[in-house]
Structure 1
Amino acid sequence: MTTLRVAAAQLNAGPDPIANLALTTDAVRRAADAGAELVALPEATMAAFGTDLRAIAEPLDGPFATGLRKVAADVGIVVVAGLFEPAEDGRVHNTLLATGPGVEASYRKIHLYDAFGSRESELVAPGSEVVTFELPRVKDSLTVGLATCFDLRFAGLFTELGQAGSDLIVVPASWGAGPGKEEQWDLLTRARASDAQAWLLACDQAFATPVGTDPLGIGRSVLADPAGRVRARLGAEAGLLVGAVDTDEVTAIRARVPVIMR
């Protein structure tokens, strides 16, 4: 059996990457103090949507990513957070950085939010690669898959992540509020855990209403088990979710219901 203590740091990112890095650093330290070995932060942790993303985008050796690496190394925890990096065509990539002891990986969001009247693809260039990484442990390791927000609507990606051996899938999000959006979030996070037959840790932006724009998050960060059952959930406000992932449950559900390898 391998047990991993995980956390989701639900927060509100603003437009300033420097301020957001300070907010993130505090959240990561609180997660480490709670005993977590991995902490997820939201999509767009670096800067909230509605910011001039081209102006603030940085490469993966830029100040924001470097700051994430520093706090991850200082407290000995793996951090997964959303940032923006320049794309070759003048747009940006909506990127997740996973960094910490023995870990350095990145995932560029594949499925862009061209829905509900939004056109993320006008500003964001899609990624194309499914990404997993190995989380080293003292006696063994876990495989962690990465996905971002709107990816939750594409079951095939999560089946592929399960087939790649993911024990845990981390899903940072900025899930905009609106009619039915809470119900859709709750349904999709549970369904995608079941599709992958893996643990799923989804971290959303906390609910807040910026002046003149729609809310950029609904909160409700969640840890779901490989059968799609909710093991822990936050409300709408900022907060820290802490829970445990047991890989024996992944093995057991895949043995009882052998669907992802078919």
Structure 2
Amino acid sequence: MKIALAQIGSGEDVAANLQKVTDFVRESAQKQTDLVVFPEATMSAFGTDIFSAASEHSDHWQKSLANLAQEHGITIVVGEFEPAGERVRNVAGIYSPDGTRDSYAKMHLYDAFGYSESDTVEADEELCTFKVGNVTVGVAICYDIRFPKLFAELSRAGAQVIVVPTSWAAGPTKKQQWQVLTRARALDSNCFVVGVDQANPVVGGPDVETEAPTGVGLSVVADPFGQPLIELGEGEDLKVVRLDLDIIEKAEQAVPVLKNAKLGY
């Protein structure tokens, strides 16, 4: 299975973000990838008017992504927002080559480090998996990665690969936390974890906390033994990695954490 990590930086211009997605999908398709994963909040970055973005652009955005997936014969996972009353849902849109769309709505909202995502975002509680060929893929979003049981449950639901669109907040030790968590969740679940973050909007700038989580880069693929197969830098980039799915069975036999778990954990 070939996966493209599309580490982009989105802004408040939804049309410009859509064009960037289009360009990266085309490049991914040229590299003959099965799946391309974009960051959380690709439609409109945090710190912008995400409610207006969802209300005004969702229909056109979704139709455009469905057409892209169908035109290029590739599955696309991309961070979006959907209207939910006076708030929005933070979702990963899943667009298949047959033109259909599925979605996962973020379960654990980022009410941490002085930020309150729940002020504007409505959470959901449903697991999500989908198929790319014969491979079952699970979905989590950003702050979800701090909750091991979610990843264990996705694995129990059949996931072999778990994609994590992300817009990681900067701050002291935050890059190190991201690196540790992606590898730990792969170990917890006997799965590949594909974490795709927003590019750092201030590449090379100071590692300080910002009001909104806007990304630090460092997108990564960790194998089921917790080893990074590829790690991107902080700027915009597109990298393709081929996953050897046989490693999953080796990890399940060597470290059967789900089989050995007690009390459902």
TM-score of the alignment, normalized to the shorter chain, above 0.5: yes
Q: How many Å separate the matches in 2 of 1:241 and 1:222?
A: 10
Is 1:97–2:93 an aligned residue pair? yes
1:26 and 1:202, CA in 2 relative to 1: closer, same or farther beyond 3 A?
same
Alpha-carbon separation, structure 1, partners of 2:79 and 2:140: 10
User: 2:226 is matched with which residue?
Assistant: 228
Corresponding position of 1:84: 81
Following the alignment from structure 1 to structure 2, what is the Cα–Cα distance between the partners of residues 41 and 97?
10
Which amino acid in 2 is paired with 1:118?
Y
Name 2:25's counterpart in structure 1: 28
CA distance in 1 between partners of 2:256 and 2:185 (Å): 16
- The equivalent residue for 1:145 is 138
**1:190 partnered with 2:183:** yes
**Cα deviation per residue 1:105-130 (whole Å; 9 max; x = unaligned)?**
21000000000000000000001101
Q: Aligned partners of 2:157 and 2:244: how far apart in 1?
A: 18
Equivalent position to 1:163, from 156, 159, 162:
156
The reply on whether 1:7 has 2:4 as its aligned counterpart is: yes
Cα distance in 2, alignment partners of residues 59 and 199 from structure 1: 36
Aligned CA RMSD, in angstroms, stands at 1.8
Structure 1 residue 213: deviation in Å? 5.6
Letter of the structure 2 residue corresponding to residue 152 of structure 1: I
Shift of 1:31: 1.1
Which residues of structure 2 form unaligned runs of 5+?
204-209
**What is the rounded CA distance, in whole Å, between the counterparts of 2:110 and 2:141 in structure 1?**
10
CA distance in 1, matches of 2:135, 2:178: 26
Matched, 1:108 2:102: no
* Count of aligned residue pairs for this structure pair: 253
Indicate how the Cα distance of structure 1 residues 31 and 213 shifts in structure 2: closer, same or farther if over 3 A, else same.
same
Q: Secondary structure of the residue that 2:243 maps to in structure 1?
A: strand
**Tell me, what secondary structure is at the counterpart of 1:246?**
coil
- Paired residues of 2:89 and 2:105 also in contact (CA < 8 A): yes
Deviations 1:28-64 (A, max 9, x none): 1111112211000000000000111111114996111
More moved, 56-65 vs 167-176: 56-65
Q: Specify the alignment match of 2:167 in structure 1.
A: 174
Q: Does the residue aligned with 1:223 lie in a helix, a strand or coil?
A: strand
**What secondary structure, in the 3-state scheme, does the structure 2 residue paired with 1:83 have?**
strand
Determine the C-alpha separation between the residues in 1 that align with 2:166 and 2:42.
Answer: 9
Paired residues of 1:221 and 1:241 also in contact (CA < 8 A): no
- Residues 206, 40 of structure 1: CA spacing in aligned structure 2 closer, same or farther, 3 A cutoff? same
Indicate how the Cα distance of structure 1 residues 227 and 209 shifts in structure 2: closer, same or farther if over 3 A, else same.
Answer: same
Per-residue deviation, 1:25? 0.4
Find the counterpart in structure 1 of residue 252 from structure 2: 254
Residue type at the aligned position of 1:97: G
**Residues 4, 37 of structure 2: 8 Å contact kept:** yes
Q: TM-score normalised to the size of structure 1?
A: 0.92
* 1:100 alignment partner AA: S
TM-score (norm 2): 0.91
